[in-house]
Amino acid sequence: MNTNRKRISGRLEHVPRGIALVTDAGDHWILEDFEPSNDDIGLEVTAEGIVVGLDRLQVEWLGQVPA
């Protein structure tokens, strides 16, 4: 098992450094290799991937959290 794998849930936001997933705790994760449509910004999602920096996640899977 790869210890750098992570699954994170939160809200998609556009920030100066790119697309971020903001958790309920206020943590910001910059999402690598992910280009959302404008309709996706503001949605609650879960992302899974590999940590590639202190606050960067290389996205392998992303799905919307059911309302």
pLDDT, mean over the chain? 92
Residues facing residue 62 across a β-bridge: 47
Domain count, the chain: 1
- Give tens-digit pLDDT for 30-52: 999 888 888 999 999 999 999 99
**Calpha distance 67→57 (Å, rounded):** 24
CB count in 10 Å sphere of residue 32 = 15
- pTM (two decimals): 0.88
Q: Residue 18's domain spans which residues?
A: 5-64
Predicted pLDDT of residue 14: 94
Predicted pLDDT of residue 38: 86
Over residues 59-66, the mean pLDDT reads: 91
